[in-house]
């Protein structure tokens, strides 16, 4: 249409003269170059700006898919575990948290005594930017720092979560067992009191469900006397707590001695908003009344049990008891040991000397443990790759650095005497003379060479101590200094270049450079797309050519075959092939090619029907051209445009399919060896909420490549077949 506007501004009458008037030009050569079908298409394509831009972006992306996996030397097979979940970093300077590798940490547990990060914390204090703001709060999750720095709170005791074979919840008791206590038979003052965490019931109770609990007593198994077993047998008939081992129990061979029998010391107490504690007094009296102590001598040993009396529908209710403290009183000292007031501490020693779980299925947790949280800005890259002071270096390490030529000189000042030179390149030394090292040296001067300044992981030495040198030289030297982690990692070939890494897309849960991962995956997917469309074109061209050229019953048979094969949904085909042949790159390719050629074949067939009755084909047939010549020299070149377009548009659809399928079934379709784009994406799906940058960056690449392919393909289609222009853009 733009062409129509041109050539409309006439200037003079000369414009209307015939150029070749009276000239005989029939035997002259053309002065203009003849344009071919492809050149013509190219001309039209270049005019389509969006397609050209898309083509350029596509080219860049494909080039990156080829170059990045090779040029980026970051190790993604054995990544640095410390570098997991690094945020994306694009800029070196501080941009206030935008793409500079920093993030705001809100809930890091602090050491309450110093209000600083404890040494065992996940967060490194040297990577903290600015001040730490501390707040008092509660933690309901259990980890090492809560264990070390939390206090009080309550132990959460949930119902057991076991299910029987038919998937119905079986209410086996869950609960806590105290450490073994000795009860003196004469002691009537033994009492046991469980205090629940205030408001915990009201805060956590599930509407419409019931929750009950009671205190029980469990005799120590080793103390089993004939009397006691008798008593146990008697007791089993009337206790509500008795579990039902008859149910399906006959095939499970289990040691009966392991079955704990709980003697309830009180009736189950239904909890309400007002319940703050439950208590039993005169434990010995209750046991004697029940006849459990008949025949026992002075003392019995056993454990107190706090039992969660699970209702039948416990699985649905998911209620918990919140035990704040336990007060056990009695004359024997072991009874007192069953008390605890600091629930966090008691939880820490659960199953390790202190309280233990009643059944394996008992679910326990910590509730509202008091901790101090710190909030601060944190440089994740500094934490993983920065300089850390106080790292220990071995003598071998330093000798290696010397042999690399990284250390210019090393000298120190002993307690007595002046400066001692241990090593100096200018003196012609080749190794450190450890025998001169003083017993303790705090002022160490380390000078690195220019190369060492770039590569040496040892940046400075804080202390250097030599013990027992003398005769047996160098047996024990301890060196503490500042270590540059990224230089160390570079030395170990974990990262690609010897500078602070910048991961454009961050790192995933294993510490892999996600940028490299994405483009490696893209390479595999592109390869799959290219290969499968190449195969599909070949098969489709041949099939379509035969079907379209010969027509008649050949065509009919071939069409019916296609219809039947094409009737099978792709996912079905894919599944069958993977199930039968295992899952790898080649089976995936096979699945893609098994039905993928049909589109090309149909298009080719259409083109053949369109051209085979044309006069020029008839003309060359009358001149004696063979079928092969007609097909390949005359018909195919004319219809090749749409076929090529179809094939190019096939690449994104293959990537699309591959991504979808690998995303759905990563377990079934994990390629051995290389990682595809879909698998890369599906691996980070779980991190969507906490580390969205992973899925966002991969999705953007994916979307970009799809959009560009589509735009590019549409541009090509318009160029090859202007009649279709704008049909569906």
Partner 1 sequence: MKDSTKYVIERILFILLTAFIVLSVTYILLQCMPLEPNATNFTEEFRFWQQQVTLGFYYEIDTSTPEGLEAIANHEYEQMVTINSQNYYFAPYPILVRYWKWLVNVVTKWDWGRSTSVALNQSAISIIVMRLPASMKLNIISIIISVPLGLGLGIWAALKKNTWIDSLISTIIMIFISVPSFVLISFLLLGFGKIPGFPIRWPSQANAAADPLLAFEAYIIPVLSLSFGSICSFARYTRAELCEVMSSEFLLLARTKGLTKGQSVVRHALRNSLVPIVPMIISQFISILSGSMVLEQIYGIPGIGSLFVTALTGKDYPVIMVDMAIYTLIGLFATLIVDLSYSIVDPRIRMGAKK
Nearest CA among 326, 317, 372, 318 for reference residue 347: 326
Greatest extent of the chain over all pairs of C-alpha atoms, in Å? 141
Which span (256-264, 499-507, 632-640, 692-700) binds partner 1, by CB under 8 A?
Answer: 692-700
Residue 538 found at the interface with partner 1 (CB under 8 A) = no
Q: Per-residue x/- mask for partner 1, residues 549 to 568, rule CB under 8 A?
A: --------------xx--xx
Residue 181 found at the interface with partner 1 (CB under 8 A) = no
Vertex 119: Cα angle to 118 and 124 (nearest 5): 90
Residue 702 found at the interface with partner 1 (CB under 8 A) = yes
Task: Tell me the C-alpha distance between 89 and 502, whole Å.
Answer: 5
- Please, what is the minimum distance in Å from the beta carbon of residue 232 to partner 1? 28
Q: Which of 221, 312, 572, 619 binds partner 1 (CB under 8 A)?
A: 572
Check: CB of residue 544 under 8 Å from CB of residue 604: yes
Residue whose CB is less far from partner 1, 81 or 688: 688
Q: Which of 569, 582, 637, 722 binds partner 1 (CB under 8 A)?
A: 569
Query: DSSP string covering 623-643, please?
Result: TT--HHHIIIIIIHHHHHHHH
Check: CB of residue 260 under 8 Å from CB of residue 172: no
Q: Which of 349, 575, 584, 721 binds partner 1 (CB under 8 A)?
A: 575
Check: CB of residue 455 under 8 Å from CB of residue 490: yes
Q: How far is CA 485 from its chain centroid?
A: 23
Which one-letter DSSP state was computed for residue 493?
T
Residue 420 found at the interface with partner 1 (CB under 8 A) = no
On the 0-12 / 13-18 / 19+ scale of CB atoms within 10 A, 608 is: buried
Residue whose CB is less far from partner 1, 163 or 453: 163
Check: CB of residue 550 under 8 Å from CB of residue 675: no
- Please, what is the minimum distance in Å from the beta carbon of residue 699 to partner 1? 4
On the 0-12 / 13-18 / 19+ scale of CB atoms within 10 A, 412 is: buried
Which span (38-46, 139-147, 361-369, 576-584) binds partner 1, by CB under 8 A?
Answer: 576-584
Check: CB of residue 453 under 8 Å from CB of residue 439: no
Which span (144-152, 235-243, 353-361, 684-692) binds partner 1, by CB under 8 A?
Answer: 684-692
> Sign of dihedral through CA atoms 340, 344, 345, 347?
positive
Residue 727 found at the interface with partner 1 (CB under 8 A) = yes
- Please, what is the minimum distance in Å from the beta carbon of residue 661 to partner 1? 9
- Please, what is the minimum distance in Å from the beta carbon of residue 685 to partner 1? 7
Q: Which of 35, 125, 236, 699 binds partner 1 (CB under 8 A)?
A: 699
Check: CB of residue 190 under 8 Å from CB of residue 283: yes
- Please, what is the minimum distance in Å from the beta carbon of residue 573 to partner 1? 9
Residue whose CB is less far from partner 1, 483 or 653: 653
- Please, what is the minimum distance in Å from the beta carbon of residue 115 to partner 1? 30
Query: Which residue(s) pair with 104 in the sheet?
Result: 377
Q: Which of 92, 143, 685, 722 binds partner 1 (CB under 8 A)?
A: 685
Residue whose CB is less far from partner 1, 592 or 711: 711
Residue whose CB is less far from partner 1, 180 or 665: 665
Q: Which of 42, 82, 350, 571 binds partner 1 (CB under 8 A)?
A: 571
Q: How many CB atoms lie within 10 A of CB 722?
A: 11
Check: CB of residue 197 under 8 Å from CB of residue 275: no
Residue whose CB is less far from partner 1, 42 or 665: 665
Q: Per-residue x/- mask for partner 1, residues 104 to 133, rule CB under 8 A?
A: ------------------------------
Q: Which of 667, 672, 673, 723 binds partner 1 (CB under 8 A)?
A: 667
Q: Which of 523, 647, 695, 719 binds partner 1 (CB under 8 A)?
A: 695
Q: Which of 248, 291, 295, 336 binds partner 1 (CB under 8 A)?
A: 248
Strand, helix or coil at 454? Answer: helix
Residue whose CB is less far from partner 1, 425 or 665: 665
Residue whose CB is less far from partner 1, 375 or 670: 670
Check: CB of residue 362 under 8 Å from CB of residue 175: yes
Check: CB of residue 305 under 8 Å from CB of residue 216: yes
Q: In what order do the strands lie in the sheet with 440-441?
A: 387-393, 476-484, 458-467, 440-441
- Please, what is the minimum distance in Å from the beta carbon of residue 249 to partner 1? 11
Residue 470 found at the interface with partner 1 (CB under 8 A) = no
Q: Which of 444, 711, 716, 719 binds partner 1 (CB under 8 A)?
A: 711
Q: How far is CA 209 from its chain centroid?
A: 37
Residue 576 found at the interface with partner 1 (CB under 8 A) = yes
Window 132 to 151, contacts with partner 1 (CB under 8 A) = none
- Please, what is the minimum distance in Å from the beta carbon of residue 155 to partner 1? 27
Residue 723 found at the interface with partner 1 (CB under 8 A) = no
Residue 726 found at the interface with partner 1 (CB under 8 A) = yes
- Please, what is the minimum distance in Å from the beta carbon of residue 41 to partner 1? 22
Q: Per-residue x/- mask for partner 1, residues 303 to 332, rule CB under 8 A?
A: -------------x----------------
Which span (380-388, 411-419, 478-486, 683-691) binds partner 1, by CB under 8 A?
Answer: 683-691
Nearest CA among 716, 724, 723 for reference residue 48: 716
Task: Tell me the C-alpha distance between 456 and 409, whole Å.
Answer: 13
- Please, what is the minimum distance in Å from the beta carbon of residue 659 to partner 1? 6
How many residues sit in the footprint of partner 1 (CB under 8 A)?
A: 43
Strand, helix or coil at 306? Answer: strand
Q: In what order do the strands lie in the sheet with 407-413?
A: 419-424, 407-413, 443-448
Structure tokens that stand for 130 in this block = 């600015």
Task: Tell me the C-alpha distance between 474 and 28, whole Å.
Answer: 97
Task: Tell me the C-alpha distance between 220 and 181, whole Å.
Answer: 9
Residue whose CB is less far from partner 1, 133 or 313: 313
CA distances for 593 relative to 488, 532, 563, 677, angstroms:
47, 6, 16, 19
Task: Tell me the C-alpha distance between 476 and 437, whole Å.
Answer: 11
- Please, what is the minimum distance in Å from the beta carbon of residue 165 to partner 1? 5
Task: Tell me the C-alpha distance between 465 and 476, whole Å.
Answer: 8
Residue count of the chain, please give it: 729
Nearest CA among 537, 527, 569 for reference residue 644: 537
- Please, what is the minimum distance in Å from the beta carbon of residue 589 to partner 1? 19
Q: Which of 308, 656, 671, 720 binds partner 1 (CB under 8 A)?
A: 656
Residue whose CB is less far from partner 1, 140 or 392: 140
Give the ranges where 665-691 is alpha helix by DSSP (H).
Answer: 666-669, 677-683
Which span (168-176, 218-226, 463-471, 720-728) binds partner 1, by CB under 8 A?
Answer: 720-728
Residues engaged in binding partner 1 (CB under 8 A): 165, 248, 251, 316, 563-564, 567-569, 571-572, 575-576, 579-580, 652, 656, 659-660, 663-665, 667-668, 681, 685, 688-689, 692, 695-696, 699, 702-703, 706-707, 709-711, 726-729
């Amino acid at each position: 249409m733009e062409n129509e506007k041109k050539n409309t501004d006439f200037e003079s009458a000369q414009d209307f003269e015939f150029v070749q008037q009276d000239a005989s030009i029939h035997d002259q050569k053309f002065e203009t170059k003849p344009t071919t079908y492809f050149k013509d298409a190219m001309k039209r394509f270049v005019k389509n700006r969006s397609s050209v831009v898309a083509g350029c972006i596509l080219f860049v992306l494909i080039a990156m898919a080829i170059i990045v996996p090779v040029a980026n030397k970051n190790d993604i097979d054995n990544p640095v575990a410390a570098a997991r979940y690094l945020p994306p970093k694009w800029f070196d300077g501080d941009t206030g948290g935008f793409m500079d590798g920093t993030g705001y940490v809100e809930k890091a547990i602090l050491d309450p005594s110093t209000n600083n990060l404890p040494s065992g914390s996940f967060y490194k204090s040297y990577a903290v930017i600015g001040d730490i703001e501390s707040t008092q709060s509660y933690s309901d999750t259990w980890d090492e720092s809560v264990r070390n720095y939390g206090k009080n709170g309550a132990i959460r005791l949930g119902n057991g979560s076991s299910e029987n074979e038919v998937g119905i919840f079986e209410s086996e008791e869950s609960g806590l067992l105290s450490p073994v206590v000795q009860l003196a038979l004469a002691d009537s003052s033994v009492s046991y009191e469980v205090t629940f965490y205030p408001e915990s019931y009201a805060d956590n109770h599930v509407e419409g469900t019931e929750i009950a609990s009671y205190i029980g007593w469990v005799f120590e198994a080793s103390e089993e006397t004939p009397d006691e077993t008798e008593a146990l047998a008697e007791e089993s008939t009337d206790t509500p707590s008795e579990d039902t081992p008859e149910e399906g129990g006959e095939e499970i061979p289990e040691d009966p001695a392991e079955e704990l029998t709980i003697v309830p010391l009180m009736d189950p107490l239904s909890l309400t908003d007002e319940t703050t504690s439950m208590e039993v007094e005169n434990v010995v009296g209750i046991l004697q009344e029940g006849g459990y102590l008949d025949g026992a001598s002075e003392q019995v040993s056993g454990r107190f049990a706090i039992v969660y009396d699970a209702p039948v529908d416990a699985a649905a209710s998911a209620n918990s008891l919140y035990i704040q403290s336990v007060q056990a009183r009695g004359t024997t000292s072991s009874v007192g040991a069953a008390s605890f007031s600091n629930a966090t501490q008691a939880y820490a020693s659960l199953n390790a000397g202190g309280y233990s779980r009643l059944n394996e299925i008992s679910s326990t947790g910590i509730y509202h443990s008091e901790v101090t949280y710190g909030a601060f800005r944190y440089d994740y890259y500094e934490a993983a790759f920065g300089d850390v002071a106080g790292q220990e270096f071995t003598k071998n390490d330093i000798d290696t650095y010397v042999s690399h030529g990284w250390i210019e000189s090393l000298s120190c000042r002993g307690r007595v005497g002046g400066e001692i030179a241990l090593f100096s390149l200018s003196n012609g030394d080749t190794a450190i003379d450890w025998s001169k090292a003083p017993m303790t040296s705090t002022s160490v001067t380390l000078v690195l060479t220019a190369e060492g300044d770039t590569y040496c992981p040892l940046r400075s030495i804080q202390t250097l101590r030599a013990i027992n040198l003398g005769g047996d030289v160098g047996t024990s030297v301890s060196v503490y200094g500042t270590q540059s982690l990224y230089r160390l990692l570079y030395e170990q070939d974990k990262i690609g270049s010897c500078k602070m890494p910048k991961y454009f897309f961050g790192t995933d849960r294993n510490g892999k450079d996600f940028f490299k991962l994405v483009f490696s995956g893209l390479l595999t997917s592109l390869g799959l797309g290219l290969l499968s469309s190449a195969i599909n074109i070949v098969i489709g061209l041949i099939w379509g050519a035969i079907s379209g050229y010969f027509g008649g019953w050949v065509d009919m048979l071939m069409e019916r075959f296609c219809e039947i094969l094409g009737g099978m949904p792709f996912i079905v085909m894919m599944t069958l092939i993977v199930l039968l042949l295992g899952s790898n790159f080649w089976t995936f390719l096979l699945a893609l090619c098994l039905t993928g050629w049909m589109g090309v074949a149909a298009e080719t067939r259409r083109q053949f029907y369109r051209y085979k009755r044309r006069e020029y084909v008839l003309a060359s047939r009358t001149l004696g051209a063979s079928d092969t010549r007609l097909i390949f020299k005359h018909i195919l070149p004319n219809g090749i445009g749409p076929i090529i377009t179809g094939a190019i548009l096939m690449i994104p659809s293959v990537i699309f399919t591959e991504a979808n399928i690998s995303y759905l079934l990563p377990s079934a379709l994990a390629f051995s060896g290389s990682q595809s784009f879909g698998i890369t994406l599906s691996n980070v799906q779980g991190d969507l909420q906490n580390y969205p940058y992973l899925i966002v960056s991969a999705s953007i690449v994916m979307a970009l490549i799809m959009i560009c392919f589509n735009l590019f393909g549409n541009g090509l289609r318009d160029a090859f077949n202007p009649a279709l222009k704008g049909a569906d853009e």
